[in-house]
Amino acid sequence: MTTTPPDPDDPFGKATPPTPPPYAGYGQPGGPYQQAGPPMPGEFATGPLMSDPDQRMWATLVHLSGLVVSIVGPLVIYLLMKERGRFIRTQAVEALNFQITVLIAAAISIALIPVLIGLLLLPIVGVAAFVLMILAAIAANRGEEYRYPLTLRLIS
């Protein structure tokens, strides 16, 4: 940190500190956390916007959370992180819609077990859901927006 030379009119001979640089805060141009792309309609940031690597990490976790806790993981991440960045919001909505679709497909398969079709459909739904969640997590980790096929878009 450089200081200015002492002022001859200053009786104590102390140097004045330099002027601090202008503040570049969260979400401000030049700040540490800028949002990639414009905000979504109706979006208000309640916390600092996430950096791109953080958004990719949370998007990966939102897709993988469906493997462990089904619909609860994507729902919690959506509710907590939806205003922290556009990418995490779109991927959380996508994962939540997919988990709702898988839940409906599993319920239909279970209902069809008495007619034996459900015994065939239930493993197919489970394997397809597993594979698609892994593919979505890999794409989100690369920063690509992933859209699940054959998904009901109930939440937007």
Q: Tell whether 125 is covered by a domain.
A: yes
Upper half-sphere CA count for residue 86 (Cβ side, 13 Å): 13
Question: What single DSSP character describes residue 46?
Answer: S
Structural domains in the chain (count): 1
Res 38: pLDDT: 54
**Which domain, by its residues, includes 60?**
52-142
Please report, in tens digits, the pLDDT of each residue of the chain (156 residues total).
556 666 666 666 565 666 655 554 444 555 444 444 555 554 555 567 888 899 999 999 999 999 999 899 999 999 999 889 999 999 999 999 999 999 999 999 999 999 999 999 999 999 999 999 999 999 999 999 999 999 999 998
Res 48: pLDDT: 77
Q: Tell whether 81 is covered by a domain.
A: yes
Q: Tell whether 7 is covered by a domain.
A: no
Q: Tell whether 65 is covered by a domain.
A: yes
Contact 31, 24 (CB under 8 A): yes
Q: Tell whether 45 is covered by a domain.
A: no
Q: Tell whether 71 is covered by a domain.
A: yes
pTM across the whole model? 0.69
Res 32: pLDDT: 46
Closest CA to 21 of 10, 9, 31: 31
Res 50: pLDDT: 87
Q: Tell whether 151 is covered by a domain.
A: no
Element (H, E) at 88: helix 86-111
Q: Tell whether 35 is covered by a domain.
A: no
